Amino acid sequence: MPADFKAQLVACFGQPVAENPTGAMQEAAFRALGLNWRYLTVEVPPEKLGDAILGARAFGMRGLNLTIPHKVAVIGHLDRIAPDAALIGAVNTVRREGDRLIGENTDGKGFLRALRSRAGFEPRGKRVVVLGAGGAARAIAAELALAGVADLLVVNRSLRRGQEMVADLAAKTGARIRFEAWPAAFVVPRDADLLVNATSIGLYPDVGSMPPVDLTGARPGMLVSDVVFNPPETLFLGRARERGLPVLDGLAMLVDQGVIGFELWTGWRAPAAVMAEALRAALGLA
Ligand code: NDP
């Protein structure tokens, strides 16, 4: 067989990106499968995003991740947006279809994948509470609505942001979605099956904070999950554990959105365990 030294390229564009651990996870997956692929973590300022996408096209890059501040702005530079990414209004992953760049959003999909495969939780017909109305919350709420939850309650500090998100998702999906402003201590409804912290409360270095939530009313068996992955064991999940509630951490969501990205780009089945281990090592958790 003739030698083939050509590498296939994937990149993450963001600013800042220096502390983004995704590359370690994807590179470990490429190595594990013996693929001559590279994942580049590239700092791209907002005003250079258009040039960076042209560069990605010129290099024939196989895919991209987008992070802060490019998730919305990138939409104008792509050829097509997947329907759920359009519903979410943000793109965190780009895949290639021939020469066309297609925008996807794997944040909510990664969350659902982790729910199903790691917690054995099928969202269809369930009653869910999502704390937060930012980018992560919107991606998760949109995918939960599309997955057929029976009832979705969004609780957010900023009234306007929460109300607008709920009105928009309800109108576009037809799902039953309600909004509640965050009181001093939100009391979890007795009939909730799943509670998701999709805010950034508890994120390093603010590890001593947790969302103001009263878990005393939660029914036994209610699943508690957190999108914060640094640290994976947040104070919030610790409190839920103390009450005997099952938990799902943000690391699972991060690995599973990476798994989905890997499979979209390469067409190979992702080595999820290798990716999880590499991510833990990159975050100094191994
Ligand atoms: P945004 O800035 O878009 O949204 C932040 C959300 O947190 C808003 O709802 C905001 O409320 C709320 N919030 C922040 N501080 C407080 C507070 N003190 N009290 C009440 N509410 C608060 O951030 P993202 O949605 O992009 O990210 C949220 C978290 O999700 C981050 O920790 C991020 O690292 C994590 N994440 C994890 C992923 C994973 O794969 N595990 C993937 C993507 C994100 P308000 O509207 O009132 O300001």
The protein residue whose alpha carbon is closest to atom 32 in ligand 1 is 200
Range of the structural domain that residue 273 is part of: 8-105+252-282
Ligand 1 atom index nearest CA of 135: 25
- How far does the centroid of ligand 1 lie from the alpha carbon of residue 228, in Å? 8
Asked if 130 and 231 sit in the same domain, the reply is yes
The three-state DSSP-derived secondary structure of 119-130 is HCCCCCCCEEEE
Report the distance separating Cα 162 and Cα 180, nearest Å.
8
Please indicate, yes or no, if residue 156 is contained in any of the structural domains.
yes
- Strand ranges in the chain using DSSP code E only, listed in sequence order: 8-14, 37-43, 63-66, 80-81, 93-97, 100-104, 127-131, 151-156, 177-181, 186-187, 194-197, 213-214, 223-226, 247-248
Domain count for the chain: 2
Nearest CA to ligand 1 atom 43: 136
pLDDT at residue 2 in the model? 75
Regarding whether 218 and 124 lie in a shared domain, the answer is yes
Residue 112 falls within a domain, yes or no?
no
Distance (angstroms) between ligand 1 centre and the Cα of 200 equals 4
Q: How would you class 189 by CB atoms within 10 Å of its CB: exposed for 0-12, middle for 13-18, buried for 19 or more?
A: middle
d(CA 209, CA 204) in angstroms, rounded, equals 10
pLDDT the model gives residue 3:
79
CB-based contact 123:112 (threshold 8 Å): yes
Q: What CATH number did the domain enclosing 33 receive?
A: 3.40.50.10860
Question: Active site residue: 6, 48, 71, 126, which one?
Answer: 71
pTM of the model: 0.96
Q: Any catalytic annotation for residue 71?
A: yes
Residues in a beta bridge with 155:
131, 180
Q: Measuring from atom 1 of ligand 1, which residue has the nearest CA?
A: 134
Cα separation, 156 vs 167, in Å, equals 14
Question: Which residue has a Cα nearest atom 9 of ligand 1?
Answer: 132
What is the C-alpha separation between 36 and 38, in angstroms, rounded? 7
Question: The domain that contains 127 carries what CATH number?
Answer: 3.40.50.720
Running DSSP on this structure, what letter comes out for residue 267?
-
**pLDDT (0 to 100) of residue 4:** 81
| pLDDT, position 286 | 74
Residues with CB under 6 A from ligand 1: 107, 110, 132-137, 156-158, 161, 199-201, 203, 227-229, 250, 253-254, 257
**What is the reported pLDDT for 181?**
97
Residues 209 and 278 in one domain: no
Closest CA to 23 of 269, 268, 254: 254
Maximum distance among all alpha carbons in the chain? 67
Burial class (CB in 10 A: 0-12, 13-18, 19+), 50: middle
Ligand 1: which atom is nearest the Cα of residue 131?
9
Per-residue pLDDT of the chain (286 residues; tens, 9 = 90+): 677 889 999 999 999 999 999 999 999 999 999 999 999 999 999 999 999 999 999 999 999 999 999 999 999 999 999 999 999 999 999 999 999 999 999 999 999 999 999 999 999 999 999 999 999 999 999 999 999 999 999 999 999 999 999 999 999 999 999 999 999 999 999 999 999 999 999 999 999 999 999 999 999 999 999 999 999 999 999 999 999 999 999 999 999 999 999 999 999 999 999 999 999 999 998 7
